[in-house]
Structure 1
Amino acid sequence: MADGNLANLAQAREEAYATPLADLNPAQPALFQADAMWPIFDRLRAEDPIHYTREHEFGPYWSITKYNDIMAVDTNHQQFSSDFMKGGITIAGGQADMDPLPMFIAMDPPKHDVQRKTVSPAVSPMNLHTMEPLIRERAAAILDSLPIGEEFDWVDLVSKELTGMTLATLFDMPQEDRRQLVYWSDVVTAAPGQGLIDTIEQKMQIFVEYHAYFTKLWNERVNAPPQGDLISMLAHGEATRNMEPREFFGNIVLLTVGGNDTTRNTISGSILALNQNPDQYAKLRANPGLIPSMVSETIRWQTPLAHMRRTAVEDVEIGGKTIRAGEKVVMWYVSGNRDEEVIDNPNAYIIDRERPRTHISFGFGIHRCVGNRLAELQLKVIWEEILKRFPTIEVTGEPKRVYSTFVKGYERMNVVIPTRT
C-alpha cells in the first residue's frame, strides 16, 4: 500500500470518529475511490450496525453493515423488495429523473424466478466444464502476449480482455466487438463528470446504440432455431420470449455488468492483494494447490460490488430499529465481509483460510449471483496459467479506483512482469 493511501486512511479514520454518529454517511464515492471508506464501516459495525443517514443526494437510507444482518435482509424478499418500480437494487435507484429499467435482479418472485431460470443453464456446471478449455486457451494467449520488463496496465491488457472474451462467448457475439461490450458495461455504472461520460444525456445516447446492437441480435436469434447462448435463451424462453424490448434490454444490461465488472475487478484485485501481502504470494507460488482458496479469499477481500439495495414493503424491526415501509435499505457487502464476529481477522488477506467461502460478495437468497461459479472458474484458470509463466507480477504504484459506491473496482493498475519462468 502506498504511503499516500495510508495517509488517506489515517485522515479518514480521524474524520469518521470525529463526526457525530447520526451524521455518518458511508455512501460517498470519493471515499471509495480513495479506498478510505473502511473507518466509517468499522465504526458503524461497532456502534450502530443498523444506521439511518437522513441526508444524501439520493435521499435518506438505512445502512446494514454486519454480516448476519445483511444475510437476514438479503434472504427476506417478502419484506425487502428488489422491484425496479420501488427503486431497484442500487442506492441511486428511484430518482425522479431516471426511468427505471426492468431486469430480473430488480424483480421479486414469481417473475424474478422464471426469468432467472431461463438464463441459468448458460452457467450450469456442465456448460462451465465445456467452456473451461476455451477460457484456458484465451488466458494463455493473453498472458503470452504481455510485455516482459515493461510497465503496462493490467486492467486493460488482462482483466478486461479475458472477461470481455468470455461474455462475448456467452452472448455468441463477434469477438471483435468485445471491447464495445466492456465499454457499455463501464458506461452503465459511470457517474457523469468522472472521465468516461460528461452528462446523463450522453449516457442515454450511448444506451441507444447499446440497445440497437442487442435488438439486432434478438431479431436474428428469435428467427433461428434455439441455441445455448444467452440471447437465444431469452428469445425462445417461455417466460421471456414475449417480454417488452425495454425489459430485454434491462436483462442485457444486468448480464453485461454482472458478467464483466465483478470478475474483471477481482482479477485485478488478486494482483493487488498478493502484492500487498508478499508472504501470501510466496505461499501461493510454493503451493499452486491453494488457487481455489485464494480465489475465494480474493472475492471476499475485493468485494467487487460494494452494496445492494432493497426497499421495505412494510414496517420491519431489525437490530432494535424500526425500518418503515417505503424506506431505502442498503446492504453493505463490503462491510459484512470485514465483520469480526463472523470472519476471523477479517482485514487480513489469508489465502489458506479455514473457511474461505464464508463471504457475502455473491449475496444470499434468491438473488445470489447466478454466474458465481463462472467468476470463480475464470479466476482459477487465469492464476493457473500465471503461475506457469511468471515468477512474479509487480504492481508499480497505487491503482486508480472507480468513482462509485456500487462497483468496487479499478480503472487502471500499472504492473511490471520482470521475467518469464
Structure 2
Amino acid sequence: MATQPVSTDAPFTYRRSPSAEEAFAGWMKEHGHELPVHNQRWDVSNPLIYREDTWGPIFAEMRAKAPVHRAEGTPYGAMWNVINVEAIQHVESLPEIYSSSWERGGITIGDPPKDITPEQLAERRLPMFIAMDRPEHTGQRRTVSEGFTPSEVAKMEAEIRMRTASVLDSLPWDEQFDWVDKVSIELTTGMLAILFGFPWEDRRLLTYWSDWAGHTELAFARELHDLRWSVFGEMAQYFKTIWMERMGQAPGRDLISMMIHSDAMNHMSPQEFMGNLILLIVGGNDTTRNTMSGIVHALHSFPDQRALFESDPSVITNGVQECIRYVTPLAHMRRTATQDTDLFGHAVKAGDKVALWYISGNRDEAVFANADKLDLTRENARRHVAFGYGIHRCVGARLAELQLRVLMEELHARRMRVNVTGRVERTRNNFVHGHTLMEVTLSKF
C-alpha cells in the first residue's frame, strides 16, 4: 500500500493546534474549579490517578475486597466496576446481555453534556462498529478486518521495518529528546497513513485528531466539547475528499477503499463514517503509540529485564505480549446491561453502566504472578486483556504486535539502549493510558 495525494480544493485549511492537552490546560487555568470532584478512594474514573501513576494500589485493594462492585456518586454517574480477568471475560462473552451499542451509551464511561440540545445530541452520536451489537457489528467488522488478516499483516513487515530503521537511525546520540514525539508518534502516525492511503505530508493530522477524540475530560469543559466537534468536522471533510476521489478508482487495499466497496459500509451516514474513522484512528494510533513509549519506560524501570532483552533477543516475541500487559494502553471499556442479570452475586439492572477496567485485569494476581513486575519470560503473558475479549477483541491486534516486535528487534540490532533522563508526563485520562512526554538519551549496550 502507498499513500496517495488528496485534492487541494478544500474550502478551508485544517487546524493543527492547539492540541487537546494544550486546550484543556488553558481551560483549566480559568475554569478548573468547574470540574466535578472525585472524592472517593475507589473512584477509578478519576483521571488524576493515571496522570500521577497512583492507580495501582487502588485497584489492588479493590481486587482483594470487591472485584465487582457498584460505584455511586462519581462524576460519570453510577457504574459497576469490573476489575479482574474472570469477571471482565465473563461480561465480554455475553454481548447480548452487556451491550456495546452507541444507542445505549457506547464504549466509554463518559456521557454527553447535560445541557446539550436534542438536536445536537442526534448530530453528535457517533456510531462505530466497536460500539455496535450484532448483527450490525458483524458486517462492518468483517469489512475492516480484511486489512488485518495474517497474510495482509505479513505483507506490511518489510515496510514497517524499513520505516522503523529510518526513524531510529535519525535519532541523536548526543542529546536528550522526546521519545514520544520522535519515535512513538512518528511510527504509529506513519502506519496509519499507509493503512488509510493518507497524504504523507499531512500524517500528523491523524495524531491531532486522535488526541481530540480520546480526551475524556473534554465533556466537562463545555466550550472545548464544542471545539472538539469542530475538529471532528474538519476530519470528516478531509476524509470525505479522499472518499470521493477513490469512488471512481479500482478497489485498493487501503481501508477507505475497503469501506467504499463494502455492502456493509458504503452507505454509512456522515455520523457513522466519522465514528468509524475515529475508531480506526484512535485504535491504530493511541494504543500502539503508548505501548511503544511504555516499553521504553518499563525496560528503564526494570534493569534486570533490560539486561535480559539486551543479552537474549529470543525473548522479544513473548516480551511484546508482556509489555502490552504491563502498559495496558486503554484503561477501560464500557458496556450497558440490556436486562436484569446476576453478575457474580450482584444484581445488575437493565440500563446499568458496566465499566471493564482492563488496566486492573492485567495486574490480576490470580492470573499473573508478581503482576506489578515486568517479566519478559512470563509464560502466560498472552492472557492479557489489553485487546479486549470476545467479539470486540481489537481487530488490529496482530498489526500492533508486529510494530512492537519490529521496534524491539531494531533497537536490539543497533544495540540501542534508551535511558529515561528527563521529564516524564502521563495522560490525564481514564480511557487512553500512556505518556505525553518522555525525555530520553541514547547509549550503546
TM-score of the pair, normalised by structure 1: 0.92
Is the CA contact 2:41–2:58 (under 8 Å) kept in the aligned structure 1?
A: no
Aligned-residue offset at 1:252: 0.6
Which one of the candidate residues 386, 395, 412 is aligned to 2:411? 386
Is the CA contact 1:140–1:385 (under 8 Å) kept in the aligned structure 2?
A: yes
Residue 148 (1) aligns with residue 173 (2): yes
- Bigger shift: 23-32 or 358-367? 23-32
Residue 291 (1) aligns with residue 309 (2): no
1:60-88, CA deviations, whole angstroms, 9 ceiling, x for partnerless residues? 11100111000000111010000001100
Which one of the candidate residues 145, 163, 182 is aligned to 2:188? 163
Which one of the candidate residues 53, 56, 60 is aligned to 2:71? 53
- The one-letter amino acid of 1:404's match is N
Match of 1:8 in 2: none
Match of 2:16 in 1: none
Match of 1:16 in 2: none
Cα distance, 1:134–1:22 mapped onto 2, change above 3 Å: closer
Match of 1:216 in 2: 241
Is the CA contact 2:330–2:386 (under 8 Å) kept in the aligned structure 1?
A: yes
Residue 109 (1) aligns with residue 134 (2): yes
Any residues of structure 2 matched to 1:8-407 within 5 Å, and which?
24-93=42-111, 95-96=113-114, 97=116, 99-191=124-216, 199-397=224-422, 399-407=424-432
Is the CA contact 2:71–2:80 (under 8 Å) kept in the aligned structure 1?
A: yes
- The one-letter amino acid of 2:357's match is W
Is the CA contact 1:390–1:417 (under 8 Å) kept in the aligned structure 2?
A: no
CA RMSD in angstroms, aligned pairs only: 1.8
- The one-letter amino acid of 2:66's match is D
Is the CA contact 1:152–1:414 (under 8 Å) kept in the aligned structure 2?
A: yes
Is the CA contact 1:192–1:198 (under 8 Å) kept in the aligned structure 2?
A: no
1:135-159, CA deviations, whole angstroms, 9 ceiling, x for partnerless residues? 0000000000000021000000000
3-state SS of paired residue (1:396): strand
2:85 and 2:300 mapped to 1: Cα distance?
27
Aligned-residue offset at 1:24: 2.4
1:387 and 1:369 mapped to 2: Cα distance?
28
Is the CA contact 1:197–1:203 (under 8 Å) kept in the aligned structure 2?
A: no
Is the CA contact 1:314–1:326 (under 8 Å) kept in the aligned structure 2?
A: yes
1:135-191, CA deviations, whole angstroms, 9 ceiling, x for partnerless residues? 000000000000002100000000001111111000011111111111110111125
1:193 and 1:147 mapped to 2: Cα distance?
36
Is the CA contact 1:192–1:199 (under 8 Å) kept in the aligned structure 2?
A: no
Cα distance, 1:146–1:22 mapped onto 2, change above 3 Å: closer
1:342 and 1:417 mapped to 2: Cα distance?
35
Contiguous gaps of at least 5 residues in structure 2? 1-38
- Bigger shift: 348-357 or 251-260? 348-357
Cα distance, 1:366–1:315 mapped onto 2, change above 3 Å: same
3-state SS of paired residue (1:392): strand
- The one-letter amino acid of 1:111's match is E
1:224 and 1:125 mapped to 2: Cα distance?
26
3-state SS of paired residue (2:203): helix
Aligned-residue offset at 1:354: 1.4
Is the CA contact 2:216–2:430 (under 8 Å) kept in the aligned structure 1?
A: no
- The one-letter amino acid of 1:386's match is L
- The one-letter amino acid of 1:233's match is M
TM-score of the pair, normalised by structure 2: 0.87
1:363-420, CA deviations, whole angstroms, 9 ceiling, x for partnerless residues? 100000000000000000011111111341100145200110000011011100034x
- The one-letter amino acid of 2:53's match is D
Aligned-residue offset at 1:197: 11
3-state SS of paired residue (2:289): helix
- The one-letter amino acid of 2:411's match is I
Percent of residue pairs identical: 45
Cα distance, 1:293–1:398 mapped onto 2, change above 3 Å: farther
Aligned-residue offset at 1:124: 1.0
3-state SS of paired residue (1:209): helix
3-state SS of paired residue (1:394): strand
